[in-house]
Chains A and B, each alone.
Chain A
């Protein structure tokens, strides 16, 4: 079977992306037709590794990434002309004037490392350094398939670039050639890291819950997915949630004509499985939630390898 790269997104956080990814990965591992690689691109809060721990703790590969650039001030070169402030070198307001010492101060958080100050300062009193933006971690999980994930360096500001680096790491790995299914756990939101996650995917799974915020954020993330022209299917988690919003929610989803991959009913086996750090399909294989996820997995396979060809 041809290789398919599938991303799981939601817009809203906490609606079940990671739990679903872990369960789908476990089902794919047991399926003799699929060779799966799992990735966690929620680089701000990578949690998949908790459910998919390594086979051998001594065999974890770690690689630092240096995707972030930051400006640095060279005091010896500065002639205190204050041009950098007066002529507004920095569009990100990362330069402030320290009037006591008559020098500029760089706000590390706000600095985007664009290099404008370095180029514009007539005395060459700024330079640009690359700093650690995070790390890429990879190992073989207890279940036997590879897991690759990124983790941002706090305060480094470039989550989107790290996501691209994680995907690049996969492309350069040896394992990719033997695999035919890549599952990517995506970040919440619709911004830079989400765009980096969904670009070049074959298929997107969008998971949500029947609440106003769940729907609102789903619509926003699907706008991004549709912008890139990537086919997608919907999963409604906690689908039987007792809520006054259910009716409106169902009506809206029906009206959109979005393709549905399935529903997952509210089921305490899911949080229970999480507390034991196991995919629910392994922890409670006969639970309502597990049965529905198995059905979703079968639907997904049909779409990925029948409908596409």
Chain B
């Protein structure tokens, strides 16, 4: 491929468990199989699972630090200015006492540290989570993980995006395709990733839940001004395929393809060998294999229409 900036494709879906990671991993593998340099970014930092589906190891662990105010009692005049200005109510101040940081409420804005007239607040840090980078069978993987019992998942997504920005600014020749895998839902972690993408692929399933959550995520994608095409996973479930696809078309939702129920997919998922990996032993005539091949062709056509 020539050296234009890499294409960024975001895989999302609203509802959980529809097959986001399955699709992200297999699309990444198919691009790689054709000689593209591919970076897969796992932005589902609450539950990053891409490495499980790839049977990869988490390597090059880097801490993501997060601001933590530290009160230096020798300097503190107990004026209460920090507490008055903290909109998160993360600094408890009782008259004539030192302020007490309540870390679970702290947004990390550092305002207290910046405005303390006595310089009595130091910028300490705690670990919010980690970022890993690794290479599995020629596929580059960047993965964020939120530390359990911590709440600020967006800080980990931001750290991933800083890495992405770095790559695009300085090393964009390193990659042809970048695939982002998001968390379920339509919250800020998901928004931040969709906002970075050239195109968005929401994954859904032919159920009432699937449709409702899809429509919500489509609204968010529109709000962010992105183009999208949907993959319908488990499309053969109870014979709902035709009706469901018709319903989506009625809502003016464009469809990239569908994946029927397939035992090879379940097995590949549980073994950690992507069904589309070149050297996998899965049946190339199987319904899942054929479906992914078709989706990949449609995706390449779509990328061509969009141009560079």
7 A–B pairs (Cβ distance < 8 Å), ordered by A: A47-B209, A50-B212, A115-B111, A116-B111, A212-B269, A213-B269, A220-B46
Query: Is residue A120 within 8 Å, beta carbon to beta carbon, of the partner chain?
Result: yes
Which chain A residues (171-195) contact chain B, with CB distance < 8 Å?
Answer: 187-195
Surface stretch bound by A, among B92-100, B102-110, B130-138, B251-259: B102-110
A196-B85 Cα distance, complex, nearest whole Å: 24
B109:A14 contact, CB within 8 angstroms: no
Q: What is the distance, in angstroms, from B217's C-beta to the closest C-beta of chain A?
A: 9
List B contacts of A230 (CB < 8 A).
Answer: none
Surface stretch bound by A, among B9-17, B32-40, B277-285: B9-17
Which chain B residues (110-155) contact chain A, with CB distance < 8 Å?
Answer: 110-111, 114-115, 146, 148-154
A193-B188 Cα distance, complex, nearest whole Å: 12
A213:B186 contact, CB within 8 angstroms: no
A44:B107 contact, CB within 8 angstroms: no
Query: Is residue B246 within 8 Å, beta carbon to beta carbon, of the partner chain?
Result: no
State which of B183, B186, B209 has its C-beta within 8 Å of the C-beta of A274: B209
Surface stretch bound by A, among B47-55, B68-76, B169-177: B47-55
Q: What is the distance, in angstroms, from A60's C-beta to the closest C-beta of chain B?
A: 17
State which of B149, B188, B208 has its C-beta within 8 Å of the C-beta of A109: B188
A159:B208 contact, CB within 8 angstroms: no
Closest to A196 in B: B151
Closest to B185 in A: A44
Q: What is the distance, in angstroms, from B213's C-beta to the closest C-beta of chain A?
A: 4
Q: What is the distance, in angstroms, from B46's C-beta to the closest C-beta of chain A?
A: 4
List A contacts of B52 (CB < 8 A).
Answer: 212-213, 216
B270:A157 contact, CB within 8 angstroms: no
Chain B 227-252 interface 0/1 with A at a Cβ cutoff of 8 Å (1 = within): 00000000001101000000000000
Query: Is residue A106 within 8 Å, beta carbon to beta carbon, of the partner chain?
Result: no
Given A50-B212, A112-B109, A213-B47, decide whether A159 and B270 contact each other with a Cβ distance below 8 A: no
Query: Is residue B79 within 8 Å, beta carbon to beta carbon, of the partner chain?
Result: no
CB < 8 Å A-B pair total: 185
Surface stretch bound by B, among A23-31, A140-148, A240-248: A240-248
A110-B195 Cα distance, complex, nearest whole Å: 11
Which residues of A pack against B, CB within 8 Å? 11-15, 18, 42, 44-45, 47, 50, 69, 90-93, 109-110, 112-116, 119-120, 128, 152, 154-155, 157, 159-160, 187-195, 211-213, 216-217, 220-221, 223-224, 227-228, 241-245, 268, 271-272, 274-275, 277
A116:B114 contact, CB within 8 angstroms: yes
A272-B88 Cα distance, complex, nearest whole Å: 45
Query: Is residue B263 within 8 Å, beta carbon to beta carbon, of the partner chain?
Result: yes
Query: Is residue B272 within 8 Å, beta carbon to beta carbon, of the partner chain?
Result: yes
A124-B15 Cα distance, complex, nearest whole Å: 42
Given A152-B187, A220-B148, A275-B238, decide whether A115 and B85 contact each other with a Cβ distance below 8 A: yes
A-B residue pairs, 8 tightest by C-beta: A13-B16, A14-B17, A44-B185, A114-B109, A189-B46, A223-B148, A227-B149, A245-B270
Q: A47-B212, A212-B272, A224-B149 are in contact. List 13 more A-B contacts (CB 8 A).
A: A14-B18, A47-B209, A109-B188, A114-B111, A119-B111, A120-B111, A152-B186, A195-B149, A212-B53, A213-B269, A216-B47, A271-B207, A275-B208
A217:B87 contact, CB within 8 angstroms: no
Q: What is the distance, in angstroms, from A18's C-beta to the closest C-beta of chain B?
A: 7
A110-B272 Cα distance, complex, nearest whole Å: 35
State which of B151, B184, B269 has its C-beta within 8 Å of the C-beta of A188: B184
Given A192-B151, A220-B148, A268-B238, decide whether A274 and B208 contact each other with a Cβ distance below 8 A: yes
Closest to B190 in A: A44
Closest to B269 in A: A211
B16:A188 contact, CB within 8 angstroms: yes
Specify which of B45, B109, B267 lies most central, judged by the most chain A CB atoms within 10 Å of its CB. B109
Closest to A16 in B: B17
B148:A227 contact, CB within 8 angstroms: yes
List A contacts of B263 (CB < 8 A).
Answer: 242
Specify which of A15, A91, A93 lies most central, judged by the most chain B CB atoms within 10 Å of its CB. A91
B207:A187 contact, CB within 8 angstroms: no
Query: Is residue B63 within 8 Å, beta carbon to beta carbon, of the partner chain?
Result: no
A245-B270 Cα distance, complex, nearest whole Å: 6
Query: Is residue B303 within 8 Å, beta carbon to beta carbon, of the partner chain?
Result: no
Query: Is residue B216 within 8 Å, beta carbon to beta carbon, of the partner chain?
Result: yes
Closest to A93 in B: B158
Given A92-B109, A114-B109, A116-B110, decide whether A190 and B47 contact each other with a Cβ distance below 8 A: yes
List B contacts of A242 (CB < 8 A).
Answer: 263, 266
A185-B192 Cα distance, complex, nearest whole Å: 26
A189:B109 contact, CB within 8 angstroms: no
List B contacts of A213 (CB < 8 A).
Answer: 21, 47, 49, 52-53, 269
Closest to A14 in B: B17
Which chain B residues (188-216) contact chain A, with CB distance < 8 Å?
Answer: 188-189, 191-192, 195, 207-209, 212-213, 216
Given A212-B270, A242-B266, A243-B267, decide whether A187 and B185 contact each other with a Cβ distance below 8 A: yes
Query: Is residue B297 within 8 Å, beta carbon to beta carbon, of the partner chain?
Result: no
List B contacts of A271 (CB < 8 A).
Answer: 207, 237-238
Query: Is residue B219 within 8 Å, beta carbon to beta carbon, of the partner chain?
Result: yes
Q: What is the distance, in angstroms, from A129's C-beta to the closest C-beta of chain B?
A: 12
